[in-house]
Structure 1
């Protein structure tokens, strides 16, 4: 999973570097919505880590990404609107925003159903003890979905599994993005804390680089 975090973070860093370079060329400030950028980063990490699916939302906008944000906006709307009109008969077809919501939901469900189907079709039969000792880092399609399907067995309920994945997808990335955004904001307000954090990151990344070089030599 750490490798996934690193690769996705590098995408974001590369994007930021290009924006900074462009800012220097046009000689004017370029505004960056960090919450949106961190949301894309978290979404890519969850996609790869949980489903083994690359949303690529840091660099592009796919139909699935648009559908995810569409369902998020509708969930926010329903949590604040005082009359649950969406429960009325025919509202699903007569109200434009409700039609869009169900269309978005279908896009996400179809995507998840396809991933679940693939994970179940490629499941290898084995007893629970062997699965618990399985080296998932060596698998081509390593993901939390792969692990859940293996552990729950071929008879796992697709709808329950899809609902679990949907919760991780929608709720998981937004909360992480909010934490990262506020952390960046607070560090920007406290230069001494920022320098301390930067020093720690430089130290840890330096250690990681040295470890990788040692491993290469051993190979």
Structure 2
């Protein structure tokens, strides 16, 4: 029976639940009520017969591995009641329950597969530092329909080659320009959008706002294209959400029926997912062709180490000007990885960080004091990041408590 390793970062913390109180009155500061969907029960219409790991699967796993397993890893007895809330809900919840029951490492039978679920920091550190010995397994399998051969799920020589192609575009000069031209301006637009709500005390769904913000940032910094998601509904956001939800659903399907192409054209959920991927791919392909035409017409080539086009400092412009011999499909998949994984994950980190700060008034006040002291009322620059030490630690702690995988 095949085995897969699943890293499940588990971390709990106590929230004091105190109201957000700024350290001192300031006309630049506003109070927000941060809404999160984490406690929202799944809508009945979203529940579907996804995977469960009831008694018969656990028993089958035990019988097939009897006498052949000397690992000493306990097998989770996963009853139907344990996972009934999972259908349409969060995968984290049952995994955490089983961690409490069986310890920081256990096996879980899920259909024809066995998963080794890890929540021990030392083991997780070993796996992440020795990533060459472990495959991305199920994550890559259920996400391939979206990412293709993009570096988000690539492994081995392909991952190494694609990373080497993209990383040179992220040099210091590029980051300095993007922080000023993109990050700051997009953040200012978000603040402008929030000001009316802040003044009249209206609660705002910051998860949605941060998703819009990060799409605008990714659009400009990667493609030199303004999705203008903060001001208008973007079909790309809905398409990304639909595609990622499908990947999550596939990771918990008992049988991988979606591998049969004819079924994907008949089942409504698969039809919706295919339409979403088509929207994302068409968007990326159009942006590539637009930029390629400009690069070719200008005969542009990279001639310095930290190359940046002053009128278009995007990653796409850098990659095309580098004249790398890469297929259009591979380039599309790489940039799609940046668009989807970059925008959605960054939005999640911002949401959880703000949520945690809103629950801890002393940490919020300390972060505000640091920003005021370092920036002195001016726009932040790339060089300021190293001096925003406490705020950086807040973001890192948010990632530890609520890690968001690509």
> TM-score surpassing 0.5?
yes
The corresponding residue for 1:122 is 294
1:68 aligns with 2:240: yes
Q: Give unmatched runs, 5+ long, in structure 2.
A: 1-177, 382-406
Shift of 1:133: 5.0
Cα contact 1:50–1:143 (8 A) shared by 2: yes
- Relative distance call for 1:206 and 1:72 in structure 2 (3 A) is same
Listed one character per residue, the Cα deviations across residues 93-137 of structure 1 (whole Å, up to 9, x for unaligned) are 101121121112111111111111122222143555x1535443x
Give the whole-Å Cα distance in 2 for the aligned partners of 1:131 and 1:118. Answer: 24
Q: Give unmatched runs, 5+ long, in structure 1.
A: 212-219
The corresponding residue for 1:91 is 263
1:146 aligns with 2:323: no
1:162 aligns with 2:304: no
- Relative distance call for 1:166 and 1:127 in structure 2 (3 A) is closer
Q: How many residues align?
A: 201
Is the strand fraction higher in 1 or 2? Answer: 2
Give the whole-Å Cα distance in 1 for the aligned partners of 2:377 and 2:191. Answer: 20
| Bigger CA radius of gyration | 2
- Relative distance call for 1:90 and 1:40 in structure 2 (3 A) is same
2:376 aligned counterpart, secondary structure: helix
- Relative distance call for 1:89 and 1:163 in structure 2 (3 A) is closer
1:2 aligns with 2:175: no
1:110 aligns with 2:251: no
Cα contact 2:197–2:203 (8 A) shared by 1: no
Q: After TM superposition, what 4+ stretches of structure 1 lie above 6 angstroms from structure 2? A: none
Cα contact 2:264–2:271 (8 A) shared by 1: yes
> Scaled by the length of structure 1, what TM-score is found?
0.82
Shift of 1:74: 1.4
Give the whole-Å Cα distance in 1 for the aligned partners of 2:320 and 2:286. Answer: 13
Cα contact 1:131–1:151 (8 A) shared by 2: no
2:265 aligned counterpart, secondary structure: helix
Aligned with residue 305 of structure 2, among 132, 137, 140: 132
The corresponding residue for 1:215 is none
Give the whole-Å Cα distance in 2 for the aligned partners of 1:32 and 1:97. Answer: 30
Shift of 1:20: 2.2
1:171 aligns with 2:341: yes
- Relative distance call for 1:47 and 1:126 in structure 2 (3 A) is closer
- Relative distance call for 1:114 and 1:131 in structure 2 (3 A) is farther
Shift of 1:67: 1.7
Give the whole-Å Cα distance in 1 for the aligned partners of 2:255 and 2:225. Answer: 37
Give the whole-Å Cα distance in 2 for the aligned partners of 1:31 and 1:126. Answer: 48
Give the whole-Å Cα distance in 1 for the aligned partners of 2:308 and 2:228. Answer: 27
Give the whole-Å Cα distance in 2 for the aligned partners of 1:78 and 1:14. Answer: 39
> Scaled by the length of structure 2, what TM-score is found?
0.46
Give the whole-Å Cα distance in 2 for the aligned partners of 1:54 and 1:127. Answer: 24
The corresponding residue for 2:359 is 189
Shift of 1:148: 1.0
Is the helix fraction higher in 1 or 2? Answer: 1
1:55 aligns with 2:233: no
Listed one character per residue, the Cα deviations across residues 51-80 of structure 1 (whole Å, up to 9, x for unaligned) are 111111222212223222221221222122
Give the whole-Å Cα distance in 2 for the aligned partners of 1:183 and 1:52. Answer: 27
Cα contact 1:86–1:98 (8 A) shared by 2: yes
Cα contact 2:210–2:350 (8 A) shared by 1: yes
- Relative distance call for 1:89 and 1:160 in structure 2 (3 A) is closer
